[in-house]
Amino acid sequence: MVTLAQSPVHSDPAILGGRLVFRGTRVPAQTALDYLDDGLSLDEFIEQFPSVQRTDAEAFLQLARGDENSAG
């Protein structure tokens, strides 16, 4: 199980008004979901937002899908 301390995303009122962002960035987590919903790949998302670590994006997508216990 992922704890808040281990979460690849977080919310801070001082960053983008508290929107959920990838840790250490100002990239909204929703942007990753939007890319995939638009038919783009995770590789394309990472290319456009290189400050997001691939492992963080993958972990977030697992959490978003609700399969946090699956092997990545």
Task: Kindly report the pTM of this predicted structure.
Answer: 0.81
pLDDT band at 5 (very low <50, low <70, confident <90, very high): low
Q: What is the domain extent for residue 41? A: 9-65
pLDDT in tens, 27-72: 999 999 999 999 999 999 999 999 999 999 999 999 888 875 544 4
Dihedral of alpha carbons 22, 54, 49, 30, sign: negative
The answer to whether residue 20 sits within a structural domain is: yes
The answer to whether residue 70 sits within a structural domain is: no
The answer to whether residue 71 sits within a structural domain is: no
Structural domain tally of the chain? 1
Burial of residue 56, with CB atoms counted within 10 A of its CB: 0-12 exposed, 13-18 middle, 19 or more buried: buried
The answer to whether residue 42 sits within a structural domain is: yes
Q: What is the predicted pLDDT for the residue at 2?
A: 59
Q: What is the predicted pLDDT for the residue at 72?
A: 43
